[in-house]
Structure 1
Amino acid sequence: MVTTTAALGAGLLVAAPAQAASPPQNAAVVTTTAKVTAKQSRAAKQKKRAAYAVKYAAKQIGDPYRYGGTGPGSWDCSGLAGGAWRKAGVKLPRTSQQIYRAVKKKVSWKGAVKGDLLFFYGGRTHMGIYAGHGYMIHAPSSGKRVKKIKLTKYYKRNFSGGVRPGL
């Protein structure tokens, strides 16, 4: 009986270290994890900036439209979008066409999230800031004021692209 116990005990001693040993750390796994964490961090920072841009744009509701207006006090559509994102820490070019070309992350109509910039008409001559829940804040045209509007079928028909600044 002693021999069986000793053999059994020896087997456990030999088997235990092999089972308890942890696999060696793979450098690729560590690097991938760091990249995922950095990407999540960038996305979280972008989301925070987007919320700030929308909040800033909402404070401009009621300001008059002025062609070439970059605020404060009066705005055109790209001036409002650029001004709101500038306050959130992201510098954008001046015109709607330049903004669309400069921002690399493109978004679809259905993929739009709060803070995305939506462009309309063939030449991307109008834009607004998506406020979430089917609404947009924009500076419409001469004689009108900055307003928050429901995105209707008209806007969906005339949609020509969207971008997500701040990534």
Structure 2
Amino acid sequence: MLTATAALGASVLTAGPAEAAAPPQQAVFVTSAAKVSAKQARAAKQKKRAAYAVKYAAKQIGDPYRYGATGPGSWDCSGLAGGAWRKAGVKLPRTTQQIYRAVKKKVSWKGAVKGDLLFFYGGRTHMGVYAGHGYMIHAPSSGKRVKKIKLTKYYKRHFSGAVRPGL
């Protein structure tokens, strides 16, 4: 009996330190995997919201521009962008400059994806919702209506930044 206990004790002592060392390695791996998974989940949620924001903005095509308007029925440029993202579950400030400052994720002209907000002119006084494939939906100016336009060299020349809401 003493021999069995000694043998059993030895196996417990041998197994103890090895098991104690294993969980920290597994915990580091799980934590790392959890971070990647959480990041992927946020990115997937943002992409879904962006698609919804673009879809909502597209439904406003034809509505009249009105300075300071936040819809429904009439819009200014930041009102349209803010309204589209609000419908997608993301609250944004009111003006173009406030939106640009508030959204932390900045993107380049080439890095823009569907749903990103594009800003134009030196003071970032105009903006639109990137619809993908080189198009933008925006409320242009007084007397005009919300429309989807091709981003030409003119817009590239006057581009002053872009942001990705919802992250």
Do they fold alike, i.e. is TM over 0.5?
Answer: yes
Q: Secondary structure at the match of 2:31?
A: helix
Residue 106 of structure 2: aligned partner: 106
The alpha-carbon deviation at position 145 of structure 1 amounts to 0.1
Map 1:1-167 to 2 at 5 A. Answer: 24-25=22-23, 26=25, 27-167=27-167
Q: Which amino acid aligns with 1:133?
A: H
1:87-114 deviations in whole A, cap 9, x for unaligned? 0000000000000000000000000000
Distance 2:83 2:132 in 1: 19
Alpha-carbon distance between aligned partners in 2 of 1:106 and 1:150, rounded to the nearest angstrom: 22
Q: Equivalents in 1 of 2:91, 2:83: separation in Å?
A: 9
Residue 28 (structure 1) shift: 1.7
Over the aligned positions, Cα root-mean-square deviation in angstroms equals 1.4
TM-score by length of 1: 0.86
Q: Deviations over 1:116-140 (max 9, x none)?
A: 0000000000000000000000000
Which residue identity lines up with residue 39 of structure 1 in the other structure?
K
Which ranges in structure 1 are unaligned for 5 or more consecutive residues?
1-20
1-structure distance, mates of 2:101, 2:73: 27
Count of aligned pairs = 147
Q: Which residue of 2 aligns with 1:16?
A: none
State the identity %. 90
Question: What letter matches 2:39 in structure 1?
Answer: K
| AA at the equivalent of 1:120 | F
Return the letter of the residue paired with 1:164: R
Taking the aligned partners of 1:145 and 1:71, their CA distance within structure 2 comes to 13
1:54 Cα offset (Å): 0.1
> Which consecutive segments of 4 or more residues in structure 1 shift more than 3 A?
none
The unaligned stretches of length 5 or more in structure 2 are 1-17
